[in-house]
Amino acid sequence: MKVIRARYAGACYGVQRALSMANDVVARGEAACTLGPLIHNPQVVDDLAARGVSVACCVEDVADGDVMIIRSHGVTPQVRDAAASRGLAVLDATCPHVARAQKAAENLARQGCHVVVVGEAGHPEVEGLTAYARGAGGAVDVVAGPGELPDGLCDPVGVVVQTTQMQEQLDAVVEALRARGLSPVVKDTVCFATRQRQEAAAELAQTVDAMVIIGGRNSSNTTRLAEICAKACERSFHVEAADEVDPAWFRDCRTVGVTAGASTPEDQIQAIEDVLRAL
């Protein structure tokens, strides 16, 4: 069985940056914790914990003297203020693309726009985008798609999008707003790396007998990849680790494609590719 990796797959710049920052803290021997999981990859989070970087649920749970690492998804301004009020040492591992989206949401609100955030309600990145817009005095709605747009919207409307969303979701929301006669100010903050991975996964899934999508089940961008692959390839399987691979999935397969979410390190991809090649 031939194993083919998508042209773009695996850990993006923002994730690699966050991991490098956390590893530097470990190498210096400093006590540290991340505020929420550093990235949405359970194996990576477990590895950090084994090396002394714990996970705190809130600022109040951070021990005095610990370096508080802000995860790649970012945090709300209120969380930053709470850390400052305690005098905590803060290491900001927010993905630069997420920081750009936060600034876009804030600026739209400052311009007087009713801000529409296209994304998953409750996701930490979306909570941050929402908080930045509200902190600038804006009204905000979070929608997963055009069907969730509230009634009564009127110009000016601004649109910002969770960085790991599919481009099609943003386009559908913008089209629905324009169909209402509105003229939304659109900040396309879909991460370029996310877009690359989605396009490469869709392209590969159309040409193989089966697809394997590698990454945390709590990872938004990996979930998007799995959805994209399933549309093009009936035998698409989302796994986190090599021991989840079932040989029965690939009966009569001549080719299997592999892609991985932006929070999936190279060693995890390689381990699963090795298993597939050994079938």
**Whole-angstrom Cα distance, residue 148 to residue 215?**
28
Residues near 159 by Cβ (< 8 Å), separated by ≥ 6?
A: 108, 115, 116, 118, 170, 173, 174, 177, 184, 185, 186, 187
Whole-number Å distance between alpha carbons of 110 and 247: 55
Catalytic (active site) residue 125: yes
Chain centroid to Cα 144, Å, comes to: 15
Beta bridge mates, 25: none
Whether the Cβ atoms of residue 73 and residue 12 lie closer than 8 Å to each other: no
In this structure, are residues 22 and 48 in contact, taking their beta carbons and an 8 Å threshold? yes
CA–CA distances in Å: residue 25 to residues 34, 156, 266: 11, 44, 21
Q: How far apart are CA 166 and CA 274, in angstroms?
A: 30
Question: Which of 30, 60, 125, 273 is an active site residue?
Answer: 125
Cα distance from N-terminal residue to C-terminal residue, the chain: 8
Torsion of CA 221, 226, 229, 234, to 10 degrees: -170
Cα 217 vs. chain centroid, distance in angstroms? 11
- Active site amino acids: 125
